[in-house]
Amino acid sequence: MDVLKHFKKGSPKPELPNDGILRLYLMRFCPYSQRASLVLAAKHIPHHKIYIDLTEKPEWYTDFSPLGKVPALQLTAVPGQPALVESLVIAEYLDELYPVRQLLPEDPLQKAQDKILIQRLSPAIDAVYPVLFTKDPPGDALPNFENALDVFEQELTRRATPYFGGAQIGMVDYMIWPWFERFPALKHVVPGEYELDRARYAKLLDWVDLMAKDEAIKEIALDSETHAQFMVTRQEGQPNYDMAFPVAAEE
């Protein structure tokens, strides 16, 4: 059951069936929310989606996420119906609880190295964030962004596999994908239709092409034009969280 709108300040708490099905609180354009959505989709785990307006959060949302962040996953089948927060915590919990199509490696060392690799995306996110969401990004933002991505090109070369997870998509792939889905929007928001250099990032861009064919990603992904349109509303200080929903498009 998905209510295709973002609940905001003053919105009543949604009435959902007491069916024991997981409840995911998210924002449609949030990459951290998308991490949780991808794991749920990849494992075919039933869940309800409740969308949260991050500019004007509903008063009741702190019942599920004390700091008001998304995503939050409410475990309605567990006594007390606790909620988990932080995308990586949620992803690992789901991977352990639903071992079908296990995403994290069994080997403790490889699991630790994969978690470190996920964290190494942070410099790229930090560098490109002002380019995507502010009107006056620093001049060195794009070079810093590209330098941070070199790590992932080198890692795919070292692993010599199509995915970071090996022959199949793993947790690293899903956890970093949301940003790679958004990076092509740069050509719509940066002068000169900016794109990553195919020669410099050959393996990484081949990985992007493979990932885009994954069923879980196709179920959830938005196109670069839609991401760019949302980024413009963010830059203008009036983020339109509902613009991805069909009803919103018709209004």
Q: Which of the residues are catalytic?
A: 30
| Per-residue pLDDT, 250 | 40
pLDDT of 190 over the 90 cut: no
Structural domains of the chain sorted by starting position, each given as residue range(s) with its CATH number in brackets: 2-102 (3.40.30.10), 108-231 (1.20.1050.10)
Average pLDDT of the segment spanning 220-236: 95
Task: Report the predicted TM-score, pTM, of the whole model to 2 decimal places.
Answer: 0.95
pLDDT in tens, 208-217: 999 999 999 9
| Per-residue pLDDT, 251 | 39
pLDDT of 84 over the 70 cut: yes
| Per-residue pLDDT, 1 | 61
* Closest C-alpha to 216, from 153, 163, 160, 173: 173
Average pLDDT of the segment spanning 229-238: 93
| Per-residue pLDDT, 248 | 45
**For the ranges 64-73, 115-124, 212-221, 240-249, which has the lowest average pLDDT?**
240-249
| Per-residue pLDDT, 189 | 87
pLDDT in tens, 133-181: 888 889 999 999 999 999 999 999 999 999 999 999 999 999 999 999 9
| Per-residue pLDDT, 181 | 97
| Per-residue pLDDT, 249 | 40
